[in-house]
A and B are shown apart, each in its own frame.
Chain A
């Protein structure tokens, strides 16, 4: 598989000002002779992403996600390390790279606020030097896929956030970039708009074979758009695995809701499988059990001995709980080595 993104031992630190204190004297001293300290943002990240992969690049605030993304987009220089995006060194070949990458930043807009979205599409077609035929074909395809026809000629300021984001993503895909960097693409959207954007991203990436590298704090983006997850913490890669593997390996508990003929179940049922009751209403009990496959079967057997099981619902814990546990484990020096693979 062709490599779309290749990072080798990437390092980046910043100089940050360090205040001497709050007093007038300290402030004056800070102004005259500022003290700085080095803050490491990225600390030896190595990563290879194949063409067409959809990768979630996640981590807590300050983990180094955005810095890495900015280096990949050619905006920042690394201190050291080798970086190639579609075969180009981003900060050296920034202009050439510009033709091959697209960016969607959920908190930024590339659309001209007072003009219709069509004006931005026309402008971007010139920026990316698309021939009129290619421009027409791409725009037609994106307008159809993203349902933009009724939005194209309305001033951007009149669009809802969800409509604007559909236009933003379509604008980023106009030049058919080989790699698309997305930073919080669904931030602030309602559930329907989020689902639409995720579906569109996944679909267009499939159609065009675009490599996606997405950062988000919303695990829905990660689960519904990506196949692979890279977790970065304190500038280092904590975990690099598939979404399915992440759930399978790090899922510690499951929630099982049992609908029974009996109003209530004998507490002894739960003791045998070390299940703890989370919620109970007549005929319906929700328990939390160990995530191993066998436990649910044992639990059902035990309940069946008491009453008829009418329905059974098994929920995985939300992905953010899994990720939260991983962050916690990484922050704990005692557990970090034992539980979190480097």
Chain B
């Protein structure tokens, strides 16, 4: 009864589709993280809005405040959409489950990414609803409502690219054991070079110049800056950038994984 199928595109797609469904089912079974994300969005946007109001006393307009709140709502939304895959990969490495999983006819990295995308299918719309509600509450009507659609489409792509980077960070557990310090650095770089709180155009030229050599602007400020009315990248340009960074992230993850499995072969798992 055992079948030994040859590799077909349809068969491969069906496999990763199944992993995506598991990711979706997992997100549905454990909705706590998504709800916590919504609560956090309301808190951070409330605080941020109050800060801009304080700045407004010194000259900033209500329109600017509203736009900035919407900008932050969108960057946070992209950030929350991407599941924390690095912790899952780290756990697999620490428990030795990676060795167990590579004995199956499926790519470990592909399965992780597919699972992340599946989880996003639930998280993205729910978090978007939360982000929009918080945006309306603290920022009023968006200055460019139509731009939200572009943010959503490109933002989901950005979250996928971010997930690919998270897989690489998780794989570093093969060498480091604990990836928390690396993630901490990644997070700080996201804040600065990704323009998490403020659009990158507010930063000094030098920071912007450095940031353009990193994936961060394409991940956060790129999609979110559509709500400003003067986006950092055009839609096509940003899409191309995301494709480029996805290729780089995937290649990096594959390289790390190959190296790691060689190390595992030397060290006995």
| Interface residue ranges, A against B (CB under 8 Å) | 14-15, 41, 66-67, 70, 73-77, 94-101, 103, 105, 108, 110, 112, 114-115, 119, 122-123, 125-131, 134, 137-138, 155, 175-178, 208
Contacts and interface: CB of A to CB of B under 8 A. Distances in A.
Given A126-B14, A134-B1, A115 B22 contact: yes
Contacts of A129: 3, 5, 11, 14-15, 105
A74 B265 CA distance: 10
Contacts of A108: 95-97, 100
B99 A70 contact: yes
Interface in B5-64: 5, 7, 11, 14-15, 17-19, 21-22, 25-26, 29-30
B106 interface: yes
A232 to B, nearest CB: 15
In which size bucket is the chain B interface? 20 to 34
B109 to A, nearest CB: 14
Contacts of A96: 4, 105
A119 B100 contact: no
B236 interface: no
B14 A178 contact: no
Given A108-B95, A115-B25, A129-B14, 10 more contacts: A41-B268, A70-B269, A75-B103, A94-B103, A95-B7, A115-B29, A127-B18, A127-B105, A128-B3, A137-B1
A94 B100 contact: no
- B-side interface mostly: helix
Given A114-B29, A115-B29, A76 B4 contact: no
Contact of B103 (A74, A119, A134, A137): A74
Contacts of A67: 268
Please name the 7 residue pairs, one residue from A and one from B, whose CB atoms are nearest each other, closest first.
A126-B18, A98-B105, A129-B5, A114-B29, A176-B1, A73-B103, A176-B2
B106 A127 contact: yes
Contacts of B103: 73-75, 94, 97-98, 101, 103
A74 B96 CA distance: 15
B102 interface: yes
A144 B199 CA distance: 60
A175 B102 CA distance: 16
Nearest to A39: B268
A311 B190 CA distance: 81
A95 B29 contact: no
Contacts of B7: 95
B264 interface: yes
Nearest to B261: A75
B92 to A, nearest CB: 10
B210 interface: no
A123 B22 contact: yes
Contacts of B266: 14-15
Given A75-B269, A115-B26, A177 B104 contact: no
Contacts of A110: 100
B268 A126 contact: no
B105 A95 contact: yes
Contacts of A76: 264-265, 268-269
A103 B268 contact: no
A189 B212 CA distance: 56
B1 A14 contact: no
Contacts of B14: 126, 129
